[in-house]
Amino acid sequence: MISMKSKKLTKYDIKNIKRGLFFISPWLIGFMVFTIYPFIASLIYSFSVYNGVTASKFVGLKNYIQLFQDPKFYTALYNTFYYAIIAVPLGIVLGVLVALLLNQPIKFLSFFRTAIYIPVIVPTVAVSILWIWLLNPEVGLINWLLSLFGIKGPGWLADPKWSKMALILMAQWGIGQSVLIYLSGLKNVPKELYESADIDGANGFTKFFHITLPMITPLILYNLIMGVIGSLQYFTQAYVMTNGGPMNSTLFYALYLFQNAFQFLSFGYASAMAWILFIIIAIIVYILLKTSARWVFYGGQ
Amino acid sequence: MFKIKLKFISLIICMLIIVSSVSACSSKGSNNSNAQKESKSVTQITVWYPWSGPDGNVIKQWAEDFNKTHPNIEVNAQLVPGSGIGSSQGKFHTAVAGGNPPDAVLYWDYSSIPLLASQGLIEPLDDLLSGIKEDGSKFTESSWSSVKFDGKIYGLPEMTSVLVFFWNKDMFKNVGLDPDKPPTTLQEVDDMAQKLTLKQNGKYVHFGFIPWIGQGTPLSWAGLFGVQDYVVNDKPNLENNTGLEKILEWEASYSKKYDPNQINNFFAALSQNNADQNDPFILGKVAMKVDGMWEIANIKQYAPNLNYGVAPIPTAPGGKENSSVLIENVWMIPKGAKHASEALQFIEWTYDVHRQADAGDQVFNISPVKEAAKLQKINNDPKAKVCIDLMTSGHVSFSVQSKATFAIKNALDNAFQAAQYLQKTPQEALKQAQSEAEQTLAQQGQ
């Protein structure tokens, strides 16, 4: 509504801007208080020693230097990247496959679609407690299922070598969220493309790799970025199920951050961890977006 | 006209939103409104306790009884798992930092006092206690000395107990061991454990003994082995600590004999360090264990026909005979508690001798009040008597009260796990524990 006639702001324009700010002031205040202020405060705390109760003490870069000398920091990074690198691509592949399956005209289709989505709405803590029992090496259902095929299941959460795998497995239970998105994407692929492919004598595989997949690449990019951001901040399940154990094999970055803040009462140290994670995620997302142009196909082009 | 009206209405809406969002923030406000109520009638105080079950019921009952006889004070006893301290430290810490703490908090581990005190989360009680003439003389010496730190008093005892040795008499009989002769040294435990472990078709049916289940925590064993030098001058002394190495080698010997993965998978389905019906000893899955005397109440409830015995913990190499470990629940007053004196009034009221004796009997603990302990009916229970004798005339060890103890405890938990999984030798595990503990202390600015 700003007048396009001249670059100078008229009195009317200023009044308009003021009115606009006034209307969004509740959100603006909330944003300042709950997002900007903690953002800046945590940056300041990352340069201090602070236990949340007594006054903070400025120590410069000491927290960061200590972090880089902390073996648990590297363990946490390793665990988190291990999880992200396996769980995210696995989730995408499974999500697309399941979406393809649910796109077929089969009996009881709506039942299957609902069944796939229900795990998403179950609260995370409830899911975690359920899966503690599913994954139990002696009496859990997972190992029982494996035993039907003659496979002796591993210790899952009790075994340091398998604990992260257990959590990755559990995460796949919640792919309903991404399946829903892929389903809508699949439905939006124009039928004419498939028809012309059929005319040219294409088989199922060719149709998938040359039509379906390129058409849903924007959705894959979306899920990839959301998946990366989410998995690098993985916390709740590890906190409820294993609290970092056994032997720090499930000590994820966000969990270690939480322990530093609330168990060891080092808010400054935890803030430094938070800022490092922020920078890591920002860099990764930037790289993903920059390279996405090579493989993402936006329909209008 | 319309513009003015619109502006007026939107102004009101904005103010409403701002006011409601600000009042939703941490409420010093709500306490003020309580204050206005109080000056007319009743002072409301909040008290946190960490567990349910018989222990928690005692606290609830105390609060109810106190409220009936004290019209001016209303105690609101809230169950907060773990009291928000320890690995659930978030809640307590947040409450104190937000200026909204409970007026008193009960916690099951007196060894958390040094960390909480040195970080300023709990208040020293010396002035308040001298005001009400509490000098600790009614308490047993061990319970009173464990609430002191750095020359000040930071808590009040609630209940005390000791760790003892449990053995399953039927399982002893089955393998030809005399059911009335428990082992008296750890070496005997190791030998008997071998006879009592049963493996069928490559799977373990039951174990004889595993050092780290029940209450076999690193610091408990340190006390039993007579190792008290894990902290020196508030600094961790874990690397090359021969005492700790000995304990780790002993625990690792079990892993070597029985395979750590099999052990851990076996116990994964059973409850770990919790007093409930899934306890491996109650289920007959392990023949011997070191656990708290409160397990006697647990076994009465869940396995009343279990044929078992209670004895002093077998002597460890380097340890003394009739050794035990002190377990103590403590009351603490958080920093910023608004009704500390009323909270103390409530706590002091619970020290009535008969009240303490009843409560102690209910939870199978020993009252820290000397006169009450003498009145307790569990004195007549032969199993409980063993525990009481240990407390009064045995050699009871405490964890060293230092502000470094918490960091050391965490580091040792990891180190012990590494040794139990045979992932590290005891020397390597302790070396890592040393740097981990130092790291944690550095983070805390100490």
Q: What is the pLDDT of residues B174-207, one digit of tens each?
A: 999 999 999 999 999 999 999 999 998 888 899 9
Look at residue B88 in the predicted model and tell me its pLDDT. Answer: 65
DSSP letter (8 states) at residue B103: S
Q: What pLDDT, on the 0 to 100 scale, is given for residue B112?
A: 87
- What value, to the nearest 5°, has the Cα angle with vertex A53 and ends A76 and A232? 20
Tell which residue, A34, A68, A5, A87, has the closest CA to residue A269: A68
Interface of B with A in 9-68 (CB under 8 A): 10, 14, 17-18, 21
In the prediction, which pLDDT does B32 show?
45
Six-digit token pair at B138? 């009614």
* Chain segment B154-166, per-residue pLDDT in tens: 999 999 999 999 9
Comparison of pLDDT for B10 and B92, the residue scoring more:
B92
How confident is the model at residue B4, as a pLDDT?
Answer: 67
The helix (H) or strand (E) run that includes residue B34 is: helix B28-40
Average pLDDT (B280-295) is: 91
The letter for the amino acid at A241 is: M
What is the distance between the terminal CA atoms of chain A, rounded to a whole angstrom? 32
In the predicted structure, residue B119 carries a pLDDT above the cut 90? no
Residues of A in contact with B432 (CB under 8 A): 71
**Rounded CA gap, A252 and A76, in Å?**
5
- pLDDT of amino acid A205: 84
In terms of Cα–Cα distance, which of B255, B258, B234 is closest to B416? B255
Q: CA angle, B97 as apex, B92 and B102 as ends, to 5°?
A: 45
Scanning every residue of chain A, which has its alpha carbon at the shortest distance from the alpha carbon of B415? Answer: A247
pLDDT digit string, tens, across residues A120-148? 999 999 999 899 989 988 888 999 999 99
Q: How many residues does chain B have?
A: 446
Residue in A137, A138, A265 nearest the CB of B93? A265
Determine the pLDDT at residue A300. Answer: 54
Q: Whose structure tokens read 């409980």?
A: B384
Cα–Cα nearest to B15, from A17, A22, A15: A22
Any B CB within 8 A of A207 CB: no
CB-CB contact of B88 with B82 (8 Å): yes
Q: Partners of B395 in the beta sheet?
A: B323
Q: What is the pLDDT of residue B85?
A: 85
Contact yes or no for A29 and B87 at CB 8 A: no
Min CA distance, B68 vs chain A (Å)?
Answer: 36
3-state secondary structure chain A: CCCCCCCCCCHHHHHHHHHHHHHHHHHHHHHHHHHHHHHHHHHHHCCEECCCCCCCEECCCHHHHHHHCCHHHHHHHHHHHHHHHHHHHHHHHHHHHHHHHCCCCCCCHHHHHHHHHHHHHCCHHHHHHHHHHHCCCCCCHHHHHHHHCCCCCCCHHHCCCCHHHHHHHHHHHHCHHHHHHHHHHHHCCCHHHHHHHHHCCCCHHHHHHHHHHHHHHHHHHHHHHHHHHHHCCCCHHHHHHCCCCCCCCCCCHHHHHHHHHHCCCCHHHHHHHHHHHHHHHHHHHHHHHHHHCCCCCCCCC
Residue B423 to residue A49, Cβ atoms within 8 A: no
Would you call A231 exposed, middle or buried from its count of C-beta atoms within 10 A (0-12, 13-18, 19+)?
Answer: buried
Q: Single out the residue of B92, B102, B33 nearest to residue B63, CA to CA.
A: B102
Q: Which residues pair with B231 in a beta bridge?
A: B236
Class of domain B163-325+400-443: alpha beta
As its CATH architecture, domain B42-161+327-387 has: 3-Layer(aba) Sandwich (3.40)
A23, A247, A269 ranked by CB distance to B417: nearest: A247
Average predicted confidence (pLDDT) for chain B? 87
pLDDT bin (cut points 50, 70, 90) of residue B134 is confident
pLDDT at B24 over 70: no
Q: What distance in Å separates the CA atoms of residue A73 and residue B315, rounded to the nearest whole number?
A: 40
Among B164, B185, B217, which residue's Cα sits nearest to residue B318?
Answer: B185
- Specify the domain boundaries for CATH 1.10.3720.10 within chain A: 64-292
ipTM value, please give it: 0.80
- Domain map of chain B by residue range? 42-161+327-387, 163-325+400-443
* Facing residue for A245 by CB, picked from B18, B93, B417: B417
Asked if the Cβ–Cβ distance from A51 to B414 is below 8 Å, we say: no
Token reading at B391? 């407390």
User: Is the per-residue pLDDT at A298 higher than 90?
Assistant: no
A153 touches chain B (CB under 8 A): no
Would you call A240 an interface residue with chain B, using a CB distance cutoff of 8 Å? no
Task: Please give the average per-residue pLDDT across B96-124, as a whole number.
Answer: 91
> One-letter amino acid identity for B216?
G
pLDDT at A155: 86
The pLDDT-based confidence of B33 (bands split at 50, 70, 90) is: very low
Q: Output the pLDDT for position A88.
A: 95
Specify the pLDDT at position B29. Answer: 41
Relative to beta strand B308-311, strand B395-397 is unpaired
3-state secondary structure of B399: coil
pLDDT of residue A206: 85
CB half-sphere exposure, B419, CA atoms < 13 A? 29
Measure the CA–CA gap between B443 and B437, rounded to whole angstroms. 10
How many CB atoms within 10 Å of residue B429? 26
Q: How far is CA B211 from CA B220, B412, B422, B432, in A?
A: 11, 15, 15, 22
Alpha helix stretches (DSSP H) within B76-207: 90-97, 113-118, 126-131, 141-145, 169-174, 186-196
Instruction: Provide mean pLDDT across the span A163-182.
Output: 93
pLDDT digit string (tens) for A49-98? 988 888 888 998 999 999 999 989 999 999 999 999 999 999 999 999 99
In angstroms, rounded to a whole number, what is the distance separating the alpha carbons of residues B41 and B184?
Answer: 60
> How far is residue A133's CA from residue B278's CA, in Å, rounded to a whole number?
14
Contact B97 A53 (CB under 8 A): yes
Question: Around Cβ A130, how many Cβ atoms within 10 Å?
Answer: 14
Q: Token pair of A44, please?
A: 């300041």
Topology agreement, domain B42-161+327-387 and domain B163-325+400-443? yes
B266 contact A CB<8A = yes
Give the separation between CA B108 and CA B138, rounded to whole angstroms. Answer: 21
Quick one: which of A210, A222, A216, A232 has its CA closest to A282?
A232
Per DSSP, the residues of B176-242 read T--TT---SBHHHHHHHHHHH-EEETTEEEEBS--TTSTT--HHHHHHHTT---SEETTEE--TT-H
* Percent over 90 (pLDDT), chain B: 53
Q: pLDDT at position B30, please?
A: 44
Beta carbons within 8 Å of A241's beta carbon, 6+ residues apart = A128, A129, A131, A132, A157, A167, A250
Q: Does the beta carbon of A41 lie under 8 angstroms from any beta carbon of chain B?
A: no
pLDDT at position B66 over 90: yes
Least confident of A186-190, B97-101, B297-301: B297-301
Percentage of chain B modeled with pLDDT above 70: 92
Q: Rounded to whole angstroms, how far apart are CA atoms B248 and B236?
A: 17
Taking 50 as the threshold, does the pLDDT of residue B36 lie above it? no
User: What pLDDT score was predicted for residue B182?
Assistant: 92
**pLDDT at position B37:** 46
Put simply, whether A4 touches B (Cβ < 8 Å) is: no
Class of domain A64-292: mainly alpha
B371 pLDDT higher than 80: yes
Tokens for B185, please give them: 């040294």
